[in-house]
Chains A and B, each alone.
Chain A
Amino acid sequence: MFLSLEVTFTALVFAAIFGIPLGVLIGLKSFPGKKIIVNLTNTFMSLPPVVVGLIVYILLSNQTGLVGDHQLLFTPTAMIIAQFFLALPLMTGLTYTGIMNVDKLYRISAVSLGAAPLKVALTVVGEARFSIYSSFIVVFGRLIAEVGAVMMVGGNVRYQTRVMTTAIAMQKGMGEFQTAMALGIILLLLAFVVNGAMEIVRSWGRVTQ
């Protein structure tokens, strides 16, 4: 259970560090090829986890991988890397959507009040903060429930890379439906608690801002 949370939250944090600025940049800047970037981001948002798992597996593999020497395959780090690539397009795309949903008059007002480009960007992000915060909840939901990619690059090794979802898949394979179901309920409760906590933080932000 703790490994599930560790892998999910680490990937989530890294995806936020890279994805939010990227989404803001795409949302606020005009540049050649922007439409293509947006289309690619939207496409990658529905990237099948097994495809991500396969690519990360190949990259980390001893025989074929570009970074195979680091012995990362079948470690939690490999699982975080796979989760990160799943989460990044989601975080970027949802941030971009949040930024685009902010009335352009906010940006124009900030500019007309003499704000420098960085302050304008931060103002728009501030207006989109609840949408951006919602993207954390969506991405968390996707990552905590993910099984294909983490199974492929983690290998479901007991005490090392076995997370809730891969344990459920394994128990089902062994015909242990009751255990699988129990684990499923625990996973659902875990997601419920984390989402509840996130929602409390979000509503607290609405009141105090």
Chain B
Amino acid sequence: MTVIKLNNLKKIYDGITVLDIEELEFETGKITAIIGPSGSGKSTMLSVINGITKPDTGSVSFEDYEFSPGSKTYPQDKRRKMAMIFQKPVLFNTSVFNNIAYGLAARKISKEEISKSVRDIAVTIGLENKLEQKAVTLSGGEGGRVSIARALVIKPKLLLMDEPTASLDPKNISIIENIIMNAKKSMDTSIIIVTHNMFQAKRLADNVVFILDGKIIEHGTCDQIFNYPENEQTRAFIHGDMVF
């Protein structure tokens, strides 16, 4: 089953095509890693999928809705089924509790339910003792965990992650990877993760998409891409032999 599908998608900035995808489907309940060198269009793809950036041609199909150049963005009911985590944790200038509760409050969920959900997920991310602390005073790793908890607490159908562990230490990377794996298992969330870290892609992903100059060079299961790549450029990239 497909959670989201890209059709003839193009994004052009200043006459340069940064994204050019004929067709790509993301499987429901799986973790898909998008890999590729810097500037290859990975983050742009995520941004288009999330409805932050409009495509210039083509569309993104999510459930029964097509996000296309003519659309403003996703309707609220679709938008609320997805969440995005950015490389730099964007924490609001309020308490950790309020940060995690943000998406739930936006959905007008009762205070009791919000309190329970926030406290439950705080235990999962190991920050149950810091709920009243100002979020901006947290360390980078703790901030990263809060931004993931904030997205997961709304139980999104689709979770988009743009290099969520790029600037973290190995301990926090491990904690966050565990949270991601648990989210996939316990909530059946489909996850698309952009990463530069080949080891992380191997550890987490069911499927892998290799993108270069905005085009999909190869995609398949994690085993296929890392052990039996069909394309020369894919092989060169995963072995670190690619010259940019």
A112 & B83 in contact (Cβ 8 Å cutoff) = yes
Residues 71-126 of A at the B interface (beta carbon under 8 Å): 103, 105-106, 108-116, 119, 123, 126
Assess whether B79 is interfacial by the CB under 8 Å rule.
yes
Assess whether B5 is interfacial by the CB under 8 Å rule.
no
B90 & A209 in contact (Cβ 8 Å cutoff) = no
Enumerate 19 A-B pairs (CB-CB under 8 Å) in ascending A order. Answer: A105-B88, A106-B92, A108-B84, A108-B90, A109-B86, A110-B106, A111-B52, A112-B84, A113-B103, A113-B106, A113-B151, A114-B76, A114-B103, A114-B107, A114-B154, A116-B106, A119-B106, A127-B93, A209-B134
Smallest CB gap from B95: residue in A: A209
Smallest CB gap from A106: residue in B: B90
Q: Compute the total of residue contacts between A and B using a CB distance below 8 Å.
A: 56
Residues 81-136 of B at the A interface (beta carbon under 8 Å): 82-84, 86, 88, 90, 92-94, 102-103, 106-107, 134
Interface string of A114-145 (1 = CB under 8 A from B): 11100100010011000000000000000000
Query: Given contacts A111-B79, A114-B79, are A103 and B90 in contact (CB under 8 A)?
Result: yes
B102 & A113 in contact (Cβ 8 Å cutoff) = yes
Query: Which residues of B are interface residues toward A (Cβ below 8 A)?
Result: 50, 52, 73, 76, 79-80, 82-84, 86, 88, 90, 92-94, 102-103, 106-107, 134, 150-151, 154
Docked pose: A123 CA to B80 CA in angstroms: 17
Query: Which residues of A are interface residues toward B (Cβ below 8 A)?
Result: 103, 105-106, 108-116, 119, 123, 126-127, 209
Q: When the two chains form the complex, which single residue of B73, B93, B94, B102 contacts A115, counting CB atoms closer than 8 Å?
A: B102
Query: Given contacts A108-B52, A209-B134, are A113 and B94 in contact (CB under 8 A)?
Result: no
B105 to chain A, nearest CB (A): 8
Q: Which residues of A contact B82 (CB under 8 A)?
A: 112
B79 & A109 in contact (Cβ 8 Å cutoff) = no
